[in-house]
Structures are given as C-alpha cells and as structure tokens.
Amino acid sequence: MSATSLPDTMRVVVAAGAGGPEVLTTTQRALPRPDEGEALVRVIAAGVNRADLMQRAGSYPGTAAVADLGLEASGVVVAVGAGVADDLLGREVCALLPGGGYAEYVAVRAAHLAPVPAGVSAVDAAGLMEAAATVWSNLYMHHKPEPGSWLLVHGGASGIGTTAVQIASALGVRVATTVGSPDKAGFVEALGAELVIDHRRQDFAEVLLARSIRPAVVLDIVGAAYLERNLRVLDRGGRLVVIGHQSGATAPMDLEPLLKNNLTVTGSGLRMRPDHEKDQIIADLVRHVWPLYESRAIVPTTHAVLPLERASEAHVLLEQSRHRGKVLLLADLPPTTESPR
C-alpha cells in the first residue's frame, strides 16, 4: 500500500441497530485499509440518500447489515492498494460506495471514483454520484429520450429528481414533474421543468391528458400507487422506468396498455448492480454528464450541509421531505472550498 501519513482511527456514524434516526451514533473505528484495486479516500463530505433511511430502518431489500451507511462521498485519495496507480494520490474525487460513506475515511474500488467536475466544490461533489449514476444509467445508457419528446419525472425536487430534470432539460427533452408542495414548484421550474404538477392537489394523469401531453418516458420513484396512471399517460412506444416504490412494490397490472401502445416497463437498482456495470456507468458519467456540470448547463443542488455527527437530523430532514435537492454530511473542511451553508 502507498500512503501519506494517516491516523490509526477515525470517526464514523453507524446505525446501532434497526430503527429511527436516533439509532445513528458517532463512534471511533480503525481506519480501513485499501485492498487490491482500491483507494483510501479521506472524506470531505458524504451524500444522504433515501436508501440510507431504509437501510437504517432495516428495510432495504437485499441489505442485511444496517450499520454502515453512505452510498456516495467526496474527498481526497490518501492511499492506494496494490494494482492502483500512485498518481491517484492527492486527487480530489467523488466516490460511489456500497456503504460506509458516513465516515472520515472510506476504502473504495478505484474504478468507482471520478474526478470532481471542474467548477464544482469538493463539498457539493459529495452529492453527485448516486443520482447522476441512477439517472444516466436508466434514462440514457441504453435508450435515449429524443430531444423535443416529453419525460415525466416523479418527485422532481428529490436528489434523483433534481438531477433528472436538469440532465434531460439540458439535452433538449421537455420535462413534466410532480412535487408535493407549492414552494418546490418554482425550484424545479428554475432547474428546467416545463410543467410542474402538485401531486397533493392534482391528479398528474388528468393534468397531462388534459393538455395532450404523452411522455415518451416516465421515471418513477412512487411505485404501486402510480403504476396504472404511469401506463395510462405514456405515448405509443413509451417506457416506464421504475427506480423506487415508496408507495409499495406490489400492484395489479392491466397488460392491455402494453399491447395497445407498445409499452416497455423496466427498472434497476444501482446498489445491486455488479461492479463491472458500475465501472461502465461511472466511465459514462465522466464522459457525458461531467461536461454538463463543467459548462454549468446543470448544477449541484445542495440543500443543506450538516456536520457528520448530526446525521440523525439529516435523516429527519429527508423523512419529512423538507429538503429540495441533496443533503450532505461534512466530515472535514476541504482545503479550497467555501464554508458550509
């Protein structure tokens, strides 16, 4: 292992057991060592994702362990394992993680690192990977919405939603989106959404059909409660992409719209994908999405930055859906970035 001088222990936030935000506690743990093919990152900030809330509660599908939270981070490479080039040392990076980002240090597969896009602060960079990888892989890697066609993004003010609205708008797609409060409407319009529907006051399918808007693609995080309406609004040849099921994962499905309108229903879970697929997604992000950040066609949407120790408050913020965009946990002040908001 090549490394700069490092402490023996680090602060880490763990879930002491399955439960509410109060189970999150800060403790000391030995520094991880990078295995072959891995780098050790001194974490500047970590992104908080809805999946962390499910993991903490013990309800994340396929994840037995509740303890090590944190699917993304930014930081500086301070050590590399066998097979990883030394020139990575000292680089500021964004990391996609299987867990463990709520810590001062994290070991990560080197292929799951990306440079911080030029012009993006090292703190804001903590919130890019999970949403950008999910949005890009589901909307653009295998099929692409045509410029000028409509995309419906559910939960436009979420971490995922703010990224989807911006990427698609920047690439010429017309975006309709749902939000849960009037104050979020102006926010997502400023990110490029052309039509914003308050899902607590309006039925999104009625609004779209009244305007003869038939999306070519629906990016859905709601699941069961929206399945019938998502299929009803899709244009001929349209694609429903399910990446979340906050209202439930099981719903009766009328197959007739699939036949009548030649529809496709698909979905994926980033965390469950094998490493070689994530390698490809991250390489694609750097090639296609990072230039959008660098030209400021799209921007990070950091809502709040809280110290690592206040992870439970960050979880409450997401649970109450008071945030717009990303909530981050600050592990260490970066050398060159602005002070936290």
CB of 331 to ligand NAP, least distance (A): 19
Residue 112 makes contact with ligand NAP by CB under 6 A: no
Taking CB under 6 A as the criterion, the residue among 159, 257, 300, 334 binding ligand NAP is 159
Taking CB under 6 A as the criterion, the residue among 105, 112, 130, 301 binding ligand NAP is 130
Compare residues 161 and 238 and give the one whose CB is closer to ligand NAP.
161
Taking CB under 6 A as the criterion, the residue among 243, 285, 298, 304 binding ligand NAP is 243
Specify whether the CB–CB gap between 82 and 1 falls below 8 A.
yes
Angle at 28 (CA atoms; ends 26, 29), nearest 5 degrees: 125
**Window of 17-25, 104-112, 174-182, 208-216 that interacts with ligand NAP by CB under 6 A:** 174-182
Taking CB under 6 A as the criterion, the residue among 97, 176, 270, 304 binding ligand NAP is 270
Give start and end residues of each alpha helix (H) in the chain: 50-56, 129-139, 159-170, 182-190, 204-210, 227-233, 256-261, 275-284, 290-294, 311-319
Token pair belonging to 335: 């050398």
CB of 112 to ligand NAP, least distance (A): 14
Angle at 132 (CA atoms; ends 275, 161), nearest 5 degrees: 130
CB of 266 to ligand NAP, least distance (A): 11
Enumerate residues 6+ apart whose C-beta is below 8 A from 112.
95, 96, 97, 275, 278, 279, 282
Compare residues 210 and 272 and give the one whose CB is closer to ligand NAP.
272
Compare residues 112 and 199 and give the one whose CB is closer to ligand NAP.
199
Residue 166 makes contact with ligand NAP by CB under 6 A: no
Q: What is the DSSP string of 226-287?
A: GHHHHHHHPPTT-EEEE---TT-S------HHHHHHT-EEEE--GGGS-HHHHHHHHHHIII
Enumerate residues 6+ apart whose C-beta is below 8 A from 42.
75, 76, 77, 78, 104, 105, 332
Token pair belonging to 213: 């808007």
Report the C-alpha gap between 159 and 140 in whole angstroms. Answer: 18
Specify whether the CB–CB gap between 143 and 283 falls below 8 A.
no
CB of 72 to ligand NAP, least distance (A): 10
Q: For the segment 7-66, give every residue that binds ligand NAP (CB under 6 A).
A: 49-51
Report the C-alpha gap between 193 and 300 in whole angstroms. Answer: 16
**Window of 105-113, 167-175, 262-270, 284-292 that interacts with ligand NAP by CB under 6 A:** 262-270
Report the C-alpha gap between 112 and 338 in whole angstroms. Answer: 26
**Window of 101-109, 228-236, 242-250, 291-299 that interacts with ligand NAP by CB under 6 A:** 242-250
Number of residues in contact with ligand NAP under rule CB under 6 A: 28
Residue 259, Cβ neighbours under 10 Å: how many?
8
CB of 217 to ligand NAP, least distance (A): 15
Instruction: Give me the 199-238 binding string for ligand NAP, x by CB under 6 A, dash otherwise.
Output: x---------------------xx----------------
CB of 3 to ligand NAP, least distance (A): 32
Which residue is listed with tokens 């960050």? 314
Taking CB under 6 A as the criterion, the residue among 127, 145, 244, 334 binding ligand NAP is 244
Token pair belonging to 99: 């867990």
Enumerate binding residues for ligand NAP (CB under 6 A): 49-51, 130, 134, 154-155, 157-161, 178-181, 184, 199, 221-222, 243-244, 246, 268-270, 318, 321
